[in-house]
Amino acid sequence: MTCQYNRQQRDVVRSDVPQHQSPQPFTCIDLFAGAGGLSLAAMNIGLKVKVAIEKNKHACNTYRHNLIITDREPYLYNADILKVSPVVIADTHFSGNSCCDIVLGGPPCQGFSVHRLNDAGVDDPRNELILRYFEFVDALKPKAFLMENVPGILWKRHQDYLSKFYEKGKNTGYFIHQPVVLDARDFGVPQRRKRVFILGVRNEVSFNTLWPPTPTHGSKKFRKKNPKLKPWRIAEEVFASPPSCSDENNYHMNHTREMLEVFESTPLNGGSRFQSIRVLPCHKNHNGHKDVYGRIDSSRPGPTMTTACINPSKGRFVHPTEHHGITIRHAARFQTFPEWFTFKGGLIAAGEQIGNAVPIKLGEILLQTILEGLRK
**What are residue 25's phi and psi, to 5 degrees?**
-65, 155
pLDDT of residue 126: 59
What's the rounded Cα separation, in Å, for the pair 290 and 298?
18
Whether the CB-CB separation of 273 and 315 falls below 8 Å is answered with no
| Cα four-point dihedral sign 99, 25, 358, 252 | negative
pLDDT of residue 124: 55
What's the rounded Cα separation, in Å, for the pair 376 and 330?
39
For residue 97, name the pLDDT band (cuts at 50, 70, 90). confident
What's the rounded Cα separation, in Å, for the pair 318 and 62?
25
pLDDT of residue 281: 62
Largest Cα–Cα separation, the chain: 67
What's the rounded Cα separation, in Å, for the pair 192 and 183?
6
For residue 12, name the pLDDT band (cuts at 50, 70, 90). very low
Strand 230-231 and strand 217-218: the pairing is parallel
For residue 72, name the pLDDT band (cuts at 50, 70, 90). confident
Q: What digits encode the pLDDT tens for the residues 167-202?
A: 999 999 999 999 999 999 999 999 999 999 999 999
Mean pLDDT of the chain: 88
| DSSP calls for 284-325 | SS---STTTTPBP-TTSPBPP--TTTT-GGGSS-B-SSSSSB
What's the rounded Cα separation, in Å, for the pair 271 and 291?
9
pLDDT of residue 96: 85
For residue 280, name the pLDDT band (cuts at 50, 70, 90). low
Whether the CB-CB separation of 319 and 295 falls below 8 Å is answered with yes
What's the rounded Cα separation, in Å, for the pair 374 and 209?
8
DSSP 7: T
Helix (H, G, I), strand (E, B) or coil at 201: strand
Q: Per mean pLDDT, which range of 120-134, 284-298, 358-372 is the poorest? A: 120-134
pLDDT of residue 112: 47
Q: What digits encode the pLDDT tens for the residues 130-158?
A: 899 999 999 999 999 999 999 988 988 77
Whether the CB-CB separation of 18 and 45 falls below 8 Å is answered with yes
What's the rounded Cα separation, in Å, for the pair 34 and 53?
8
Q: Per mean pLDDT, which range of 4-18, 247-261, 296-310, 327-341 is the poorest? A: 4-18
Q: What digits encode the pLDDT tens for the residues 289-312?
A: 788 999 999 999 999 999 999 999
Whether the CB-CB separation of 32 and 108 falls below 8 Å is answered with yes
For residue 288, name the pLDDT band (cuts at 50, 70, 90). low
Domains of the chain by residue range? 3-219+359-375
For residue 232, name the pLDDT band (cuts at 50, 70, 90). very high
Nearest-10 crossing angle of helices 360-375, 37-44: 50
| Bridge partners, residue 183, by sequence | 194
Q: Per mean pLDDT, which range of 38-47, 119-128, 283-292 is the poorest? A: 119-128
Q: Indicate the length of the chain as a whole number.
A: 376
What's the rounded Cα separation, in Å, for the pair 182 and 197?
7
For residue 339, how far is the Cα from the chain centroid? Answer: 16
Residue type for position 157:
R
pLDDT higher than 80, residue 71: no
For residue 256, name the pLDDT band (cuts at 50, 70, 90). very high
Q: Per mean pLDDT, which range of 44-48, 107-111, 327-331, 361-365 is the poorest? A: 107-111
pLDDT of residue 73: 85
| Bridge partners, residue 104, by sequence | 30, 146
pLDDT of residue 155: 86
- The CATH code for residues 3-219+359-375 is 3.40.50.150
Greater model confidence, 124 or 301: 301
For residue 249, how far is the Cα from the chain centroid? Answer: 18
pLDDT higher than 90, residue 279: no
What percent of the chain has a predicted confidence (pLDDT) above 70? Answer: 86
Q: Per mean pLDDT, which range of 94-103, 227-236, 252-261, 275-284 is the poorest? A: 275-284
